[in-house]
């Protein structure tokens, strides 16, 4: 069984400030981990993914995440928030390539000018 | 590349009627498609996994006779909500993948918003 917990359903940051979104997972096998972004009334766009290679993963739009096995975490960061980063972010886990995804509850990011 | 479309993007239907939602992979062949449901301000919940040419696998608690899934070709899967009721109103999102393609990544459609009156 697999599960994902995202700490904080809402995060508010000032433009230019650090964005930190927390994700913890559980998985019975080495996990594949993903971060997705969703804008209102749209589907999901992949930001980045971890598939057992480098533990620090760089994605699109300046985001990166670090896989920490000892902490079962995959937190997402961006050094400097932009107004366009305001969206819903989902962390997800799968138990291998091509398998179904289990999503966390999501974190809504608000960027203040 | 790897574009997934859904049709319609939104639909309103009356209680008791059925509605069909299409999910298409436009530029690749998808051996597997997934259907998710997302209620307002909530996360995505997997409803079923659909493999081309075989019966869909439904998640626990999802009524297979109510949510009919057909994956008749490598580029098309359909979800039919039968005898829809207001509680079926939701945002339905599909995703598609082919093992070995682009790291086995799931590509998501833009979603279909269903409102049952």
- Whether residue A113 is predicted with pLDDT greater than 90 in this model: the reply is yes
Q: Which pLDDT score is estimated for B102?
A: 56
Q: Which residue of B has its CA nearest to A36?
A: B108
Question: Phi and psi at residue A77, in whole multiples of 5°?
Answer: -135, 155
Select the residue of A101, A105, A106 nearest B106 (Cβ to Cβ): A101
Total residues found in chain A within this entry: 113
Q: Which pLDDT score is estimated for A28?
A: 83
- Token pair 């999901």 is found at A44
- CA–CA gap between residue A48 and residue A45 (Å, rounded): 9
The answer, yes or no, to whether the previous bond of B2 is cis (omega within 30 of 0) is: no
A98 vs B104: CB contact, 8 Å cut-off? Answer: yes
3-class DSSP assignment, residue A83? helix
Q: Which pLDDT score is estimated for B77?
A: 94
Q: Are A75 and A55 in contact (CB under 8 A)?
A: no
Select the residue of B46, B91, B110 nearest A100 (Cβ to Cβ): B46
- On average, the pLDDT of chain B sits at 91
- Whether residue A98 is predicted with pLDDT greater than 80 in this model: the reply is no
Tally Cβ neighbours within 10 Å of residue B58. Answer: 18
- Token pair 């920490």 is found at A68
**Helix, strand, coil proportions of chain B in percent (round to 5)?**
5, 50, 45
Select the residue of A43, A45, A104 nearest B43 (Cβ to Cβ): A104
Select the residue of B4, B49, B108 nearest A100 (Cβ to Cβ): B49
Q: Which pLDDT score is estimated for B96?
A: 92
- Whether residue A96 is predicted with pLDDT greater than 80 in this model: the reply is no
- Token pair 């997800």 is found at A92
Q: Which residue of A has its CA nearest to B97?
A: A98
- Whether residue A36 is predicted with pLDDT greater than 90 in this model: the reply is yes
CA distance B107 to chain A (A): 8
Q: Which residues of B touch A103 (CB under 8 A)?
A: 43-45
Higher pLDDT, A81 or B101: A81
B34 vs A100: CB contact, 8 Å cut-off? Answer: yes
Question: Average pLDDT in the B89-113 region?
Answer: 85
Q: Which pLDDT score is estimated for B53?
A: 84
A49 vs B105: CB contact, 8 Å cut-off? Answer: yes
Q: Which pLDDT score is estimated for B15?
A: 97
For residue range A39-83, list pLDDT tens digits in order: 988 889 999 999 877 899 999 999 999 999 999 999 999 999 999
Residue A106, beta-bridge partner list: none
Q: Which of B114, B117, B109, B96 is nearest to B39 (CA)?
A: B114
- On average, the pLDDT of chain A sits at 93
For residue range B54-99, list pLDDT tens digits in order: 889 999 999 999 999 998 899 999 999 999 999 999 999 999 987 6
Percent above pLDDT 90 for chain B: 71
Considering just the CA atoms, what is the radius of gyration of chain A in Å?
Answer: 13
Q: Which pLDDT score is estimated for B72?
A: 83
Q: Which residues of A touch B109 (CB under 8 A)?
A: 43
- CA–CA gap between residue B49 and residue B47 (Å, rounded): 7
Return the residue in B2, B24, B44 with the most chain A beta carbons within 10 A, the one to mutate for interface testing: B44
Q: Which pLDDT score is estimated for B10?
A: 96
Confirm or reject contact between B97 and chain A (CB < 8 A): yes
For residue range B29-40, list pLDDT tens digits in order: 888 999 999 988
- Whether residue A84 is predicted with pLDDT greater than 70 in this model: the reply is yes
Q: Which of A55, A79, A76 is nearest to A65 (CA)?
A: A76
Q: How far is CA B58 from CA B49, B66, B88, in A?
A: 6, 11, 16
């Amino acid at each position: 069984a697999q599960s994902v917990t995202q700490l904080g359903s809402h995060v508010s940051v000032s433009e230019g400030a650090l964005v930190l979104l927390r994700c913890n997972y559980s998985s019975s096998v080495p996990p594949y981990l993903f971060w997705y972004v969703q804008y209102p009334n749209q589907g999901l766009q992949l930001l980045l993914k971890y598939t057992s290679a480098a533990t620090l993963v760089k994605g699109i739009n300046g985001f990166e995440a670090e896989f920490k096995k000892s902490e079962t975490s995959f937190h997402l960061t961006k050094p400097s928030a932009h107004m366009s980063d305001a969206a819903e972010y989902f962390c997800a886990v799968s138990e291998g390539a091509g398998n179904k995804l289990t999503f966390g509850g999501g974190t809504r990011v608000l960027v203040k000018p | 590349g790897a574009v997934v479309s859904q049709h319609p993007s939104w639909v309103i239907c009356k209680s008791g009627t059925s509605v069909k939602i299409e999910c298409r992979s436009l530029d690749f062949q998808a051996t597997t498609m997934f259907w998710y449901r997302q209620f307002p301000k909530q996360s995505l919940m997997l409803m079923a996994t659909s493999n081309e040419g075989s019966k869909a696998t439904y998640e626990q608690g999802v009524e297979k006779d109510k949510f009919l899934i057909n994956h008749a070709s490598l580029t098309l899967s359909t979800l039919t909500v039968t005898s829809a009721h207001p509680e079926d109103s939701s945002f339905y999102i599909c995703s598609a993948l082919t093992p070995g393609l682009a790291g086995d990544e799931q590509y998501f459609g833009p979603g279909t918003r269903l409102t049952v009156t």
